[in-house]
Amino acid sequence: MYIVISGLVKKYGENIVFDGFDAKIEKNRTTFIMGPSGCGKTTLINILMGITTPDGGTISGVPALKSAVFQEDRLCESFSAISNVRLVCDKKIKNDTIIEHLKKIGLGDGLTKPVAEFSGGMKRRVAIVRAVLARSEILFLDEPFKGLDTETKKTAMEYLKENTKGKTVVIVTHDIEEVKALEGDLITL
Ligand SMILES: Nc1ncnc2c1ncn2[C@@H]1O[C@H](COP(=O)(O)OP(=O)(O)O)[C@@H](O)[C@H]1O
Ligand SMILES: [Mg+2]
């Protein structure tokens, strides 16, 4: 089972980002998208998510239920970490489960204070937990470990690996070590 991208075309004015791009993403696995800054990684996953409209080509096999870590955190700043996750997940998921996940990714303190008071790396991890606990069939993660220090990044990668087994995960990254650690497929742009 694959997500199939064929003949993708995307232009911004004179800037041709994709001109007949083809790729296959295997479902129920992790696939990394790598490439230099500005090559179109975010554009590609935004097209796959349906946020950006392509100028040509076809995409098939993208599941309907999607969750994401966007390039920017896009959290509700005045809401707590728990509330930010609560907003997107099934009512059946208990607050204790949300707290357990936040702890597993290394966030123990201040879970009820507004995330506006969190550091960048703390916010990033809230965004990761939100994407994992949201009801979804596919996760799109745009540089999910950006701004995390080595130790925190290791914890976040372990958390992600542990909690996305058998799921379709698409991750944009700059770091080949992430591809090795999470044992994913690789698409280079
Ligand atoms: N909304 C937009 N309007 C105009 N140009 C854009 C827009 N979004 C992205 N681009 C351009 O498309 C190219 C790919 O951008 P992007 O997908 O963000 O790259 P990456 O995520 O690989 O760094 C860049 O040249 C960028 O300037
Ligand atoms: Mg980007």
Helix (H, G, I), strand (E, B) or coil at 187: strand
Q: Which residues of 138-171 are buried (b: 16+ CB within 10 A; e: fewer)?
A: bbbbbbbbbebeeebbeebbebbeebbeebbbbb
Predicted local distance difference test score (pLDDT) of residue 8:
98
Predicted local distance difference test score (pLDDT) of residue 167:
95
Pocket lining: 37 vs ligand 1, CB cutoff 6 Å = yes
CB atoms closer than 10 angstroms to residue 37: 6
Per the structure, the count of domains in the chain is 1
Range of the domain at 98: 2-188
Pocket lining: 39 vs ligand 1, CB cutoff 6 Å = yes
Sorting pLDDT into bands at 50, 70 and 90, what band is 123?
very high
Average pLDDT over residues 92-115: 95
Predicted local distance difference test score (pLDDT) of residue 152:
96
Predicted local distance difference test score (pLDDT) of residue 23:
97
147 — phi, psi (to 5°)? 85, 5
* Nearest-CA residue for atom 3 of ligand 1: 12
Residue 188 tokens, joined:
């280079």
Of 32, 43, 70, best ligand 1 pocket probe by most atoms within 8 Å of the beta carbon = 43
| Mean pLDDT, all residues of the chain | 96
Average pLDDT over residues 128-152: 96
Predicted local distance difference test score (pLDDT) of residue 118:
96
CATH number at residue 173: 3.40.50.300
Distance, CA 142 to ligand 1 centroid (Å)? 13
The CA distance from 73 to 69, in Å, is 7
Chain segment 70-101, per-residue pLDDT in tens: 999 999 999 999 999 999 999 999 999 999 99
